Each structure stands twice: as C-alpha cells, then as structure tokens.
Structure 1
Amino acid sequence: MATDLKDLAHPVDAAAVLRLLPDRPRLLAVGEPTHRADTLLDLRNELFRQLAEEHGYRTIALETDCLAGLLVDAYVTTGAGTLDDVVERGFGHGWNDLPANRELVRWMRQFNENRPQEDRLRFAGFDGPLEITAAESPRQPLTALHAFLAAHVDATLLPCTAQTLDDLLGADARWTEPAAMRDPARSFGRSPQARELRLLADELTELLDEQAPHLAAVAPPEDRDRAHLYARTAVGLLRYHHWMADASPGRLARLVGVRDRMMADNLHALAARGPVFTYAHNSHLQRERTTMTMGGASLHWWSAGALVSARLGEEYAFVATALGTIEHQGVAAPPPDTLEGLLHVLPEPRTVFDPRALAAALAETSPALRVSPWFGYAPYDPAHLASVDGLVYVRDVHGS
C-alpha cells in the first residue's frame, strides 16, 4: 500500500494543484484543518505567490473580517497607512500577531509597487465582522451604505435620514454585549429598534439595486462594489443579531448558518471580478454539509463552500488539507489505520494527491476517521474524498 501511495504523491506547488483541475477555476479554495499554524500559513503564502506570479490570480480572500480587510486592501494597492497599523487593525479573530499574515501583506505591497492599477494584487476578508462570542454593531456598514446612496441618488428616495439610523442604532455596546452569546435575553437583536433597522437595511439594499444604471454612470466601480459589501454586511449582521436573541433549539445552527451565508455571498461577489484564491478552515470550504458540536448540541449547516459551489459549479474548486502531527498541542503521530496514518509513512513533508486516484487506492482499506485529542484540530474525513478536487497532506505542523 505504501508503495502505491508514494506513486500517487506529488510535491505541493500551485502548478501541481492546478493540474488536478480541468480548467483554472474562478474560485480556488484551499482549506486547513486547524488555525494559527505557521507551517500551513507559510504554505498558503507560497501558493498565492505562485498563483499570482505564474497563473494570473490577483485576489486572495481570507477567513477574516470583510470590513477590517478593506484597510489591508488599501495598503497593498495604494500604500495607504503603515504595515504595522494595517496588520494590527486589518485582521479579525486575533490573527494580527501571526508572522505569516504580516509577511503576506508586506509581500503583496512589494509586488504591487510600480504596477498598473488593473494588475495589482487585492486583499479581501470574506468573513463577517464576527467573533466566537459576539458580533459587531451594524453601524459601520449601515451608515456607510446610507452615505453612499445619499451622495448619489435623490434624497426623496431614501427610506430614512442618517439621524434616524443613528437614533435606532444607539450605543454600540448594546450590540456587542458578550453575555448575549450564552443568554439570548441579553441580545438587542429582536428589539423594536433592531426590527426597524432590518426593514431599513432591506430598503436601502433594494434602492442600491434599483438605481444600478444611474449609479454605474455616476460612481466608480470600486465605490459601487464597496456599497454592495456594506449592504451585504449590514443585512447579514442584523440577521445574525436577530438569531442571537432567539431562544429556540435551532438558535446555534442558525447562527453558524447565517455566518457561512455571509461568507458565501462575499466569495461569490469577489469571484465576479476575476480568479480568486481563498483560504479558510476546511469546514467553511467543503461541499458537504458541515457538522460540529457546540454548547452540547450537534449542529448541521451548509458551509460557504457548499453554497458557492452550488452557484459556480465547476468554476469552484476545493483542495482540502490533512495533517499528521501538531506536537505543541498534543497531537502525536496518527494511528496507522486512519487516512492520516497511511499518508504519514510517506517520506515527503508535504504532498498533494488526486483524490480520485487516492480513493481508488484505498478502496479496500476503508481508513478509519481519526479522533483528535485537541478541540482545535479537525481530522480529515476519508468519506469526503469523493467531493474534493485535491488533498494536501502535511506531515508535521508547527504553531505560532
């Protein structure tokens, strides 16, 4: 078996990944099974450099705050701000301390120096302004959307004034109350003000769509794209806060489902402007329904990858990553009867496989699903080989 698998293994680079696919996809997604791993993030950076330099990819989209990511994009495209500041403020989930993220931003800015605007690399976050314990106030995207429309359309068409929005939004602390994640009664998401804001967000988004011909004549494409980002984010955040305030058994499943829907909408919009390389957790990019235990409940929802795949078809490609050890988190060598264990005996530190050929080679073996001793790592399910376009295996992972 080891000899057969060795014959199927190829060194990991962008060309090897793209050779697995019938055509260059509009959205090339590479997943990771754990976060904050230097080894995996360095590989991510290497793949994007190759995709940019050799294969025409111009956008990288990461699992981080879509609004904060605008700061990073401005820096890499125009030099606005400083490297220290945009890394500090431009990454969500506390990932501003990761050396690989800083190096990615530095390299993108260097790549863009002296390039024409249409050929510059772009950075995007595709997650909502959300964390595990709380969600941001909808103030920033909602007021920015209103300001864009107020600057370009007849004021009589607007459903409200900026002051009305400000009064309804109130203090941001009412939206970011950390206790609301565990106690729905502490959430502001179903208050009369929140309900009114949901209606207004819908009306502003509708007006943005209705005025598309006029806006195309008076506003640059970049400004219009950003207005649509604000609209998606405002609607998504208000929907997320609505479910934060819900006390039904379906609450957590709806929250994670709303988050991935926001991710999917952002990825779909990014893919419209050219080939995109996106990188996130496997669970957000896979085509299967995602399952996770949270708060003692088993949750099931459709991931961003599943939603985008349904829209883009073969223009969406997903390459999953499996790994062997994470010694600093107590994840030792995988059991030999698991998929990771069968790949762990191969000599190369990182390899990529055609999943169809790998599944055929393992047909009589039926690898077991590995059980992780650490909550922060999700082993790869061998039953998913039929629905991925490639599988990267990394023997040993070191964290930040």
Structure 2
Amino acid sequence: MNTPAEPGERREHVDVLVVGAGLAGLYAATLLARAGHRVTLVERRRTLTGTVRTTGIFVRRTLEDFDLPEEHLGPPIRRMVLYPPGLRGPVELASARDEYRVGDMGPLYSHAAAAAERAGVVLRFSTRFLGREEGQGDGTRQDVPAYLIEGPGGPERVQARFLLGADGARSRVARTLGLSRNTELLAGAEEVFPEPDPAVEPGFHCVVDPRIAPGYLAWVLRDGEHVHLGTAGYAERFPHGMYGALRSFASQAPGMEGVVRPELVEKRAGPIPVGGVLPRISCAAGLLVGDAAGAVSPLTAGGLDPCLRLSGYAAEALDEALRSGRPEILERYDGSALRARFRKRLLLRRGLEAVRTPAMATAAFAALRTPPGRALARRILFGSGSFPLP
C-alpha cells in the first residue's frame, strides 16, 4: 500500500483497479490475483460486516457450482408459498431438492476478503473512487490511465491498466468510463432478526400486492435461524412510501405465526436494477460486473448468482487482455449479447410491472392456480437455469 500523498507526489501502479468489495468485486479481484496480476481493490466502507444491502439468498445452482463456506449458510429451504392480495387462497410449491439457502453476508464478505488478501489483492477500505485524473486516457490512448482515489490520508493517484467497476447499481465507474448505466431500479427494504428455532420448517412466503410491493413482491423468509421480512417495488409507486409499506406488511405478514419481533432489528435497504444486463459494459479501459452491469434477474431480482458468474467471465477477459497486451479483447465482453438471452425474463418483468391494482393482481394470480401456471412458477422458482454466459 502506498503512503498517502497529495496528487502528483506518488502513484500506485497496478494491472487492475477494482472498485467495490461486494461478492462481485472480491471474486473477480481474487481470480485476477491468482492469475498473477497486480490488483488493488478500493471500498468506501470502513468494514464489510456493517451495512448489508442484499437479502443474501443463494439459489441451488450457485450452491452447487461455487465453494461457499458451509458455516455461513443457513438451513436449506425447499418450500415456497405465494399469496395474492388479501392472502386468501395461496399457492404452495415444494421441491424435492434444497432450493435456497440464506447467507450470513457479513461473515461471507469477510471470508471472501480474506481469500482475496491471500491471493495477493491489496484491499483499501474507507477509500472512495473519485474518477479519472483530469486529462488522462479515454480508453484509446496507449499510456496507462491514472485514477483518483481518496482514503483516510487524502487524495491519491493510481495508474491502472484496467478499471473494474463492482460499485453497485449507481456505478461511478460506469460514468467514468462512459458505459451504460442502470435506469430501471426497484427500491427494497428489509428487516432481519434472529430466530434460533430448529423446530421451524424453513419456508419462503411471497405476497403479490401492488399496495405494499408495486411491481415486485413482499416476502417473509424463515429458516430456523433468522427471519427476513421485506418489500421492494418502484419507489414512486409506493402509496405511503417504502418504509410505510414495510410497516404495513409487518403487521399482517404471512408465515409469522409465533414470531416475536424484537425491538432492535437489522435494517437493510438499497436499489435493485431490474432492466437486465446493460448494453455496453466494457471498453478498452475496463469492465463492469454485478449490479453495476445490471447483472440481476429482471423477474426475480436475484443478483448473487449473476454477480459471481459474470465476475468469473470478466476475470477471464481481463486476464487475456493483460497477457496479450490487446485491450480490444474486452470488446468480447458484450452486454448486448448477454442481454439478448434475457428476453423472456424482461417480458415477464413487463408483465409484473403492469400489475398496478389489487384487482389486477388477484386476476393474474388466478393463473398460478392452474396446472400450467404452477408449472411455470416451479420452472421460475425451482429451475436449473443460471446466468446465461456465452
């Protein structure tokens, strides 16, 4: 790590500067460092165990394909119950396989950060990415661009052959590199509190009601270790604001029988991109991954499986570009090609977005009670698909 210095005094020289220490940034940084590249990762938060913005729900394919630490995963969930407005006549789906597990995200982030450091990644916490140094490369110049960061010691410069943006739905890296930016966002809020009760049958309860989750779902997840209670939707369509909707839902939420909500709970909130993979997620100067790239399912808003798979793909592209000295290789990291594989999910997103009244939700929900509707729900919720890499 460089000694903090005023801009112009010292520069750190790296192969890749990664911005954002979520799972996407940490995973990509680790793969690149293991491949022998010099990687620095900057994260504006002071610690990874504080603010968490994801429910931490891992689907079966992620659990099968990635080496996640067992000790930081909750009990398996095989049962999901879907409710219409009014909560009458729910549709219950059960799987013969373990479909979901909820990660304890603070420890998972710490585990991933430790793996990154062992691989040789330089982690810089309490450090903000400010942008490209004025007058520096635009992705077409042959010299190595310089970027400005600001840590506890003040502003510094980092020269990086490539920049990797893993800095969330409102990515500053995307703006710096002139790449696509998310425009379709849901706002989500969740409360999490412990419920250590091995007698609880793990279950996932979801409510389709535009009064409490306009354009998406409200949910209760209980796995015998924690309770997750949340809602998400289009921010401008919450009748009494997102937190008002969450309070209203908490008073009537299904699946909460016998639950005593403590006075102090962990609160989570943040934007969720649901417009699909963005068209332009790469240039000769760098790439986007995770939420910054729009790598979230437009329908289910699941982002943990896409963030890991896309980060692996990004690391492969950067490794090849670094070894060959040919930045144009990054053009293969094509958001438009990936986006084309999301057509059905984007169409279903449009359908869910159009459900604006309880009457419409009730009418649409009736289709879920038919055999074809149940089959479609099972395919979406218990399917074997994953992020559609080339």
Shorter-chain TM range is under 0.3
- TM-score with structure 1 setting the length: 0.25
What TM-score comes out, normalization by structure 2 length? 0.26
Of the two structures, which has the highest relative contact order with CA contacts closer than 8 Å and spacing of 6 or more? 1
